[in-house]
Amino acid sequence: MSRFWFLIVKAVWWGEPMAGKRVLILGGTAEANELAGRLAEIGDCHPVLSLAGRTRQPRRPDVEFRTGGFGGSDGLATYLRDEAFAALIDATHPFAGQITANAHAAAAETGVPYFRLLRPGWVEAKGDHWIRVADAVSGAEALTALRLPADAIVFLALGHRDLEPFAAMNGLRVLLRGVEPVVPPAGFFACETLIARGPFSETEELDLLSDKSVGCIVARDSGGASGYAKLKAARRLDLPVILIDCPRDTSPGSAVESVEAAIVRLRNKLVDKGRS
């Protein structure tokens, strides 16, 4: 599309409801970064990306951003008011339950238009050997039921809060990977930790699983392209995968699944807010 026609479409589509308004995006995902960049490129609103601050050297976005928590839902509500935000978008990790609850509560308290950008989960394909479970405790039970060989390595591709149930399993040999040093809970018979930043390609994951003689993967169904590579590699190696289901947001109309849909939802929210 030529620059001329882009400007015409932009003017017709966005119009006055977006002009100059500040939009807070709760980030930590690739989708949050993409959304912030797209809104900044469109230029008719001012996105501010919020990062939790758990990673000491996050990828710095090309938009205004802040790091650190808010102090619960009350602190987030105060920030929304003080900074005069016109909308709040929760684009955090699908398993970041607490910040999502805080965002919902803060939006309800302040009346700031709010919705969630929640990428869809993964879909099992031919050749996959997935065992879906509800949580990490159920995942540990499923792993026990697999009766893997005693020398098998289990790749726990999980957040640190989900490791504890597996540490209680006697004699478990595990592989952990993180952007920063991972401190495993006590109890693992043998534990190797890798420091690496994704996204990883299918070839890289295939090499890792083969080189480390991994016999099973335990992961969270967080969706997205970057994490799916290890599942494709597991398929090629005929490895079982224990997949912890994400608690999906089932409230009608509360979530969108793509950046494009988020841009449309944002515009509609602000149009509705302007009419009220």
Give me the CATH number covering residue 14. 3.40.50.720
How many distinct structural domains can be found in the chain? 2
Q: What is the pLDDT of residues 170-195, one digit of tens each?
A: 888 999 998 888 888 888 888 999 99
Contact 162, 244 (CB under 8 A): yes
The answer to whether residue 124 sits within a structural domain is no
How many whole angstroms separate alpha carbon 174 and alpha carbon 184?
10
* Same domain membership, residue 271 and residue 198: no
Tokens of 111: 């009346």
Q: What is the pLDDT of residues 10-24, one digit of tens each?
A: 444 445 556 679 999
Mean pLDDT for 60-73 is 86
The answer to whether residue 164 sits within a structural domain is yes
pLDDT of residue 12: 42
Tokens of 36: 């912030």
Tokens of 202: 């299918």
The domain spanning residue 161 has which CATH number? 3.40.50
Please state the φ and ψ torsions of residue 96, each to the nearest 5 degrees: -85, 70
- The answer to which of 13-17, 85-89, 126-130 has the lowest mean pLDDT is 13-17
Whole-model pTM? 0.84
Q: What is the pLDDT of residues 100-121, one digit of tens each?
A: 999 999 999 999 999 999 999 9
Place of tokens 């930590």: 28
What mean pLDDT, rounded, does the chain reach? 87
* Same domain membership, residue 236 and residue 136: yes
The answer to whether residue 166 sits within a structural domain is yes
* Same domain membership, residue 102 and residue 23: yes
How many whole angstroms separate alpha carbon 220 and alpha carbon 226?
13
- With cut-offs at 50, 70 and 90, classify the pLDDT of residue 9: very low
* Same domain membership, residue 135 and residue 115: no
- With cut-offs at 50, 70 and 90, classify the pLDDT of residue 27: very high
* Same domain membership, residue 255 and residue 229: no
Q: How many other C-beta atoms lie within 10 A of the C-beta of residue 102?
A: 22
The answer to whether residue 125 sits within a structural domain is no
* Same domain membership, residue 165 and residue 179: yes
Task: Kindly give, in sequence order, each residue whose CB lies less than 8 Å from that of residue 175, ignoring residues fewer than 6 positions away.
Answer: 153, 154, 155, 156, 191, 192, 193, 194, 212, 214
Task: Kindly give, in sequence order, each residue whose CB lies less than 8 Å from that of residue 253, ignoring residues fewer than 6 positions away.
Answer: none
- The answer to which of 6-10, 119-123, 236-240 has the lowest mean pLDDT is 6-10
Mean pLDDT for 38-47 is 90
* Same domain membership, residue 149 and residue 81: no
Question: Domain range for residue 85?
Answer: 3-119+250-275
* Same domain membership, residue 134 and residue 164: yes
